[in-house]
Structure 1
Amino acid sequence: MNIACDARALVGRHTGVGTWTTQVMAGLASDPSTEILMGASKPIDLPEKLHLPNVRILPRPRLPLPGSLWLHLLLPAALQQAKADVFIGSLAMVPRRSRIPGIAMVHDLTPKTHPERHTLKTRWTFNPFIKASLKAARAIVVGSEATRTELLEHFPWVAGRLHLIGYGVDQFFSPAVEPEEGEQTRQLFADGRPYILHLGTLEPRKGLLKLVEAWDRLHEITPDAPSLVLAGGEGWDIRPLVDLID
């Protein structure tokens, strides 16, 4: 089987969607009889985990195009030429006029439900296209019950094609084998105290201001509550979060 994937999340700095794309496609590539086709309108920074003989990158346009134009105008022909059997839209988008069955992976609907928490670019590349993408998709996948509920609220007609497949946890996050290892980690990140970890790009849509405020109230009530550790790449509009912590 030839499985194609929207690899735009692997262009430039990788965030959570890039991690999801890497892990899912690496899992599918573990079957040597499967060929993985990664596509994007700009050069892809392919993670080492995907440096496999059955993973290849689709030819990209001679001139870099905006991702949405590439997806809808050029990708359908590229998928046909590569003899793809299925396309995974890792950013919720599938080509509207492609003959290849598409799977739309919807991580959340926040560009639609909370546009103020996104850049103009994200809003312009998501909101005008999401409805058509959901109509075109043969199947729709979400990673959480919250997103499933929200999707059905706004697009109830997707119910028959909607599948909830929870996010996995990398082995890196397994509990420490030896007690000393756990103690070393607590010492490194929280001065030896128990801690609550938030891992993800530090940006408005993650609700981090509310999280910090909630932790601050918890700490007032219970001074020995676990510390709060925020980890992740720096996203846009991070200044309010920095000011709140300071």
Structure 2
Amino acid sequence: MQVIVNLQPLLSPLTGIGHYTRELTRELVDRQHSPGGISSVLGLAGLRLNTVTAEHPLLVGAGASQGADEAAAVHATHTARATHTATTRAARARAWRFARRYLRNPATRFVYRQAFAQRLRLHAALSRDMHDTLYWEPNFIRLPWPGRSVVTLHDLSHCRFPEYHPRERVAFFNRYLAQSIAQATRINVVSQFTANEVTELFDVAPERIDLVPPGVAARFFEVDPAQRERVRELHALPARYCLSVGTLEPRKNLATLLRAFLSLPLERQRDCPLLVVGIAGWGDESLPEGAARALEEGRVRRLGYVSDRDLPALYANATLFAYVSRYEGFGMPVIEAMAAGVPVITADQTATREVAGDAALKVGADDVEAIRDALIRLQDDTALAQQLREAGRRRARSYTWQKSAGALEASFLAAMR
């Protein structure tokens, strides 16, 4: 079986879908030539459709090259390190904004889809093995393809909460998603919650749906003291801090978390500040009263984009992790934090309830008082914090990319039958 993968989600810096696509494509490449399974993997990137190997630049990603620069920065002066970090972040942000702006524009997105579709049609016309070729679309919208296909749906928040998305994104999904689902041979989802949403909103038979959750990379479980100290120095981390990770957009509900944090006594905020990691998404989620001053005084810090190399240690150094998103198809930061041994607070709704299980403190996403109380409990109750660290690690170990790749390959084989 030859598999074609759309590699467009691997634009850097990676979002959750990008990480999902990259890790599973790596696993598919490792599974090539297995008896009765995948014979080869082709990657669609731009107008190129090439064989994907483990050395493909989009699979290697930016982490390796960034790591060398950042390791060197640790041994430089504080001024040089700060300058390097600021310059790198600014360059990444500019590239990301350009890519997002380009693909968000309806006209350029239409041209993009037509060009990719034409490349797939050309491959289909010239291929002698169409009966043995499958197209995997890891990012919702299936490109035109005459053969069998599998489409991965990560969440349906644009249906439930269109106000959480840019209008052009909602319009794009409304135009193409139903058709994508109808034409796909099989549908993959990342959680049972999302499977239920697909069945309810698009009337898809449950037997057409396969559960392929993400995994957690080994690096989140294996953060050594040297890594922790390097990242602590690189980012000037305090001894204790609350952490939140995610794209900065309304759905992630950062404003409610901030309100809960800012309601804590000032001394508690200074002792355990809130650090926020993530690239800017969209929308103007107004900061609550007092947030500007908290940012000036360092009680709240925005770290922006943090590299794959640094993220595990950033989790591991944290006192607690809070993620109270209003709607998630999975909630990858929750399971990453658990793997790194951090006690977690998350929303008791949508997929984060499913992912966290009994290994986190669960609160109402908009219950400021409950979030505030949970922040205090995990700062003060060391026995509870340790219990959640241990339970979280056990739960995170059930999510592996190898297991996910096995489920993905099984879905491919089912589609080819």
Q: What is the TM-score normalised by the length of structure 2? A: 0.47
Q: CA deviation at 1:173?
A: 1.9
- Contact in 2 for aligned 1:10/1:18 (Cα 8 Å): yes
Unmatched tracts of structure 2, length 5 or more: 34-38, 50-55, 62-107, 293-417
Secondary structure of the residue aligned to 2:286 is helix
Structure 2 residue corresponding to 1:102, chosen from 149, 171, 185: 149
- CA deviations over 1:13-60 (Å, ceiling 9, x no partner): 43222222111111111134342222245689942527xxxxxxxxxx
Instruction: Please list, as runs of the form range in 1=range in 2, the aligned pairs for 1:200-239 lying within 5 A after superposition.
Output: 200-216=246-262, 219=264, 223=268, 227-237=273-283
- Structure with greater helix percent: 2
Structure 1 residue corresponding to 2:121, chosen from 74, 77, 81: 77
Evaluate the alpha carbon distance shift between residue 49 and residue 172 of structure 1 in structure 2; reply closer, same or farther with a 3 A threshold.
Answer: same
- CA deviations over 1:77-118 (Å, ceiling 9, x no partner): 14413556111111112245x332111111111222222222
Aligned to 1:240: 286
Secondary structure of the residue aligned to 2:142 is coil
Evaluate the alpha carbon distance shift between residue 163 and residue 68 of structure 1 in structure 2; reply closer, same or farther with a 3 A threshold.
Answer: same
Taking only the aligned residue pairs, the percentage that are identical comes to 21
Q: Which letter does structure 1 place at the counterpart of 2:215?
A: G
Aligned to 2:174: 127
Structure number with bigger Rg = 2
Of stretches 105-114 and 148-157 in structure 1, the one that deviates more from structure 2 is 148-157
- CA deviations over 1:110-168 (Å, ceiling 9, x no partner): 22222222223322321111111111111111112332232222123241111222211
Q: CA deviation at 1:170?
A: 2.2
- CA deviations over 1:217-244 (Å, ceiling 9, x no partner): 5x46x94896543212222225635987
Secondary structure of the residue aligned to 1:240 is coil
Unmatched tracts of structure 1, length 5 or more: 51-62
1:115 matches 2:162: yes
Aligned to 2:60: 49
Aligned to 1:31: 31
Secondary structure of the residue aligned to 1:38 is strand
Aligned to 1:8: 8
Aligned to 1:162: 209
Aligned to 1:93: 141
Evaluate the alpha carbon distance shift between residue 155 and residue 226 of structure 1 in structure 2; reply closer, same or farther with a 3 A threshold.
Answer: farther
Secondary structure of the residue aligned to 1:66 is helix
Evaluate the alpha carbon distance shift between residue 135 and residue 65 of structure 1 in structure 2; reply closer, same or farther with a 3 A threshold.
Answer: closer
- Contact in 2 for aligned 1:104/1:137 (Cα 8 Å): yes
Aligned to 2:19: 19
Instruction: Please list, as runs of the form range in 1=range in 2, the aligned pairs for 1:119-198 lying within 5 A after superposition.
Output: 119-178=166-225, 182=228, 188=235, 190-198=237-245
Evaluate the alpha carbon distance shift between residue 234 and residue 134 of structure 1 in structure 2; reply closer, same or farther with a 3 A threshold.
Answer: same
Q: Which has the higher contact order (CA 8 A, sep 6+)?
A: 2
Evaluate the alpha carbon distance shift between residue 132 and residue 171 of structure 1 in structure 2; reply closer, same or farther with a 3 A threshold.
Answer: same
Evaluate the alpha carbon distance shift between residue 115 and residue 142 of structure 1 in structure 2; reply closer, same or farther with a 3 A threshold.
Answer: same
Structure 1 runs (4+) deviating above 6 angstroms are 42-45
Secondary structure of the residue aligned to 1:230 is strand
Q: What is the TM-score normalised by the length of structure 1? A: 0.74
Q: Which letter does structure 2 place at the counterpart of 1:47?
A: L
Evaluate the alpha carbon distance shift between residue 166 and residue 226 of structure 1 in structure 2; reply closer, same or farther with a 3 A threshold.
Answer: farther
Coordinate RMSD, CA, aligned = 3.6
Aligned to 1:53: none
Aligned to 2:341: none
Q: Distance in 1 between matches of 2:14 and 2:169?
A: 16
- Contact in 2 for aligned 1:79/1:100 (Cα 8 Å): no
Of stretches 121-130 and 32-41 in structure 1, the one that deviates more from structure 2 is 32-41
